[in-house]
A and B are shown apart, each in its own frame.
Chain A
Amino acid sequence: MIVAERKPFEEIKAMVSGYKKVLTVGCGTCVAVCLAGGSKEVATLNAELELALGKDGISPGAATVERQCDMEFLAELDPLAEQYDAFISMACGAGIQFLAERFPDKPVFPAVNTSFIGVNLDVGWYEEKCRACGTCVLGTTGGICPVTMCAKSLFNGPCGGTNNGSCEINTDQPCAWYRIHERLSAQGRLEQIMEISPANDWSNQKPRKIIQPGYEERIKALQG
């Protein structure tokens, strides 16, 4: 899932001050699961705003849609939108931008910082696992992502900074390639660590679009 963190209240307050009618929009998917932007967080933020700015200062509304990354769900906000001067989005960066696209004549303010693609370790505890590099090498790295875990995002490793299982930057930071070595060795396929993975094409980090196989003609027909 995409993991996000609520922004400090002062930052949100500064953004919305001056706007009386503000609709706080939660997202019911990733950010709800990581406890940053679901309907509970919406209610909490609105209460904070009312306490800080007073009922005369702000009158926030609340709505949580299934996903802010699907326009159809954002359209559910249309009837509400005209009652508000501005929006606060508690979705990830993708959802915030899509909400802003849906209502281009109104300011949209982010209430969360989108942090990473990660996993749930326990309630409220998350760890980054993927950097969306676009060239997955997990098959040869024992299912451990060196782009995410290695401080240098090395596709081939370890480097000279590996330090008894830790990274040279910090003893709390495990060395990704040490872990990869351990895992491949345990699985009896250590020789694979010798295979050179070509450098990733980092130019792929410009805004990317994906059309799943089989849908090219449909998209063409839609656009045609």
Chain B
Amino acid sequence: MTAEKSSNTIEISINTDVLVIGTGAAGAEAAEVISAQGYKVAVAGDGGQDIAQSGRAELIEGAHIRDFAGVAGDFRACFVKDGQRLERNFGAVVIAPGRNVRPQAEPFGLSLGERVITLGELEKILADGNARSKLGGAAVALLLNLTWEGDPQYTARVLEASLAIQQLEGATASIYAGNVKVAAPGLERKFTYVREQGVVCFKPMEKPSIEQTGDKIRITTLDSILRKTLVAEYDYLVVEEKAEPSDRDLDLAYSLRLDTDLEGFLPSNNVHRFPVNSNREGIYIAAPGLGANIALRIKELFGDGVKSVPADRAVVDPEKCTICLTCYRCCPHGAIFWQDGVAAISPLACQGCGICASECPMDAIQIGGFNDKDLRRQVREAVAATQKPAIVAFCCQNSALEAGRAAAEFGMDLPAGLKLIKVPCAGKVDVEFIMQAFVDGADGVMVAACHEGNCKAERGNLFARWRVNEIRKRLEALGIDKQRLLFTTFASNMAKGFAETAAQFAGSL
């Protein structure tokens, strides 16, 4: 990666090769669509002969990631293949997640057997002409999304299997479903069609109780539509196969520094991101049907291989940096690495949240547009100019700032001494700024972040809350009322909430 300085932007030349990890359907689809955009694609994983034969992508067969480094536009992957190390560079990485499957018989006190089977086993029976005949005349109950959240792919499989049963001579299928996930093309229609074909659906209000006596399975459930307790007997019960993140994905998440969601799946949830984006620029998570979305994002990132980015998004002062690694460890976007004895921040991967700048113990990092000197000056001016009580409100530009400005716009009552200071993320609010506000004479300081789980920078709001909690302890130790420092969260549409919180805070001072 080379960088040349022009006035306020730098041009970065990007490696436009793409690595796809995983040879399954989602990986193959992503590889196909990305290579159709004109970028070179390599697919790593086991199997995948069809990908190699298509000629659309190079297959690095049997290769598994050992080490991974770099940032968007310049990733370095080290594979182990047949015991040999193989190093390759890529500009972007797509992960096609794998899944482990755990049969869900145990939550109902059942064990798998002849009559209690998994969806996978049912599919095998249905696919086998001889085996299928034993389902003739049988009543089959299928469980759907009762023990886990489920997904559209799983719904599609259950619907397909139910339909196949229903079409067997004398056989009936019943589905006991929690939330039916139908967010995939044609799935809602299929759900209707399946019921038109005679498949009965129940929506239990609570976990059904299921008993097996010999060859019969009795399900007792309180149906939420009929509002009645229903008891029915079946010959077969098809339990769910709960998907869990594969060990490979958990390893990848660790070595590629990716956040997972609460259940361990890639990517972590963030409403500010496209579903295919991870917390790191240039690393995407594939799913069936999302290949085109990934190709779009990659095209946006790569362009023609040269990208113009702001030169001052996040700048490290090499004289101050001691490469303590704090910034590297705190950056939620994996945008920081170290080179030639100093921390380096990729202008392509950096999202400008400023968490690093506020965590840096040497104040060695400055964020474009949110220079520490400017912010300190703003704090001083806010305290000096205001009426009493003087309140300095550090407001995240993604939420609280919008809410606060809207409150003013709508003419809501805001404390006269309230001054909003715009920050790129609450994670940019430095302990020093808060302390300085009190030293300068602020009566109150408000740190206004996004709601938990709603931070654009993944956890800038958490960093802000942790810092505020710590300063409150220190204020208390100084004999200063800790209530003078408030941590609060808003969504950008909460003008009224902002005005109320501000008024209440002013009243308490």
Contact = CB atoms under 8 A, between A and B. Distances in A.
Contacts of B85: 79, 82
A72 B343 CA distance: 13
Contacts of A50: none
A79 B78 contact: yes
Interface string A56-69: 00000000001000
B147 interface: no
Contacts of A72: 325, 328-329
Given A66-B341, A72-B328, A218 B67 contact: no
Given A66-B323, A213-B473, A217-B466, A79 B341 contact: no
B248 interface: no
Nearest to B328: A72
A214 interface: yes
Categorize the interface residue count of chain B: 20 to 34
Interface string A65-99: 01000101001001100100000000000000000
A221 B462 contact: yes
A215 interface: yes
Contacts of A78: 66-67
B67 A79 contact: yes
A193 to B, nearest CB: 28
B467 interface: yes
A189 to B, nearest CB: 25
Categorize the interface residue count of chain A: 10 to 19
B206 interface: no
A28 to B, nearest CB: 9
Contacts of A221: 462
Residue among A214, A217, A218, A221 facing the most chain B CB atoms (10 A cut-off): A214
Contacts of B473: 213
Nearest to B459: A221
Contacts of A218: 462-463, 466
B469 interface: yes
Contacts, number: 31
B462 A213 contact: no
Contacts of B476: none
Nearest to A216: B466
Contact of B470 (A66, A79, A214): A214
Contact of B466 (A66, A70, A214): A214
A99 B315 CA distance: 32
Contacts of A79: 67, 78, 85
Interface string B298-323: 00000000000000000000000001
B268 to A, nearest CB: 13
A214 B467 contact: yes
Nearest to B463: A218
A79 B68 CA distance: 11
Contacts of A213: 470, 473-474
Residue among B67, B323, B431, B463 facing the most chain A CB atoms (10 A cut-off): B323
A215 to B, nearest CB: 7
B345 to A, nearest CB: 16
A217 B464 CA distance: 12
Contacts of A82: 85
A79 B79 CA distance: 11
A217 B487 CA distance: 15
Contacts of B466: 214-215, 217-218
Contacts of B462: 217-218, 221
A78 B85 CA distance: 11
A217 B323 CA distance: 24
Residue among A75, A78, A213 facing the most chain B CB atoms (10 A cut-off): A213
A1 B67 CA distance: 32
B322 to A, nearest CB: 9
Given A72-B329, A213-B473, 12 more contacts: A66-B341, A72-B325, A75-B67, A79-B67, A82-B85, A213-B470, A214-B466, A214-B467, A214-B470, A217-B466, A217-B469, A218-B462
Interface of B: 66-67, 78, 85, 323, 325, 328-329, 338, 341, 431, 462-463, 465-467, 469-470, 473-474
Please list the 7 inter-chain residue pairs (A to B) with the smallest Cβ-Cβ separation, ordered nearest first: A214-B470, A217-B466, A213-B470, A72-B325, A214-B466, A78-B67, A70-B325
6 contacts: A78-B67, A213-B470, A213-B474, A214-B431, A214-B467, A217-B469
Interface of A: 66, 70, 72, 75, 78-79, 82, 213-215, 217-218, 221
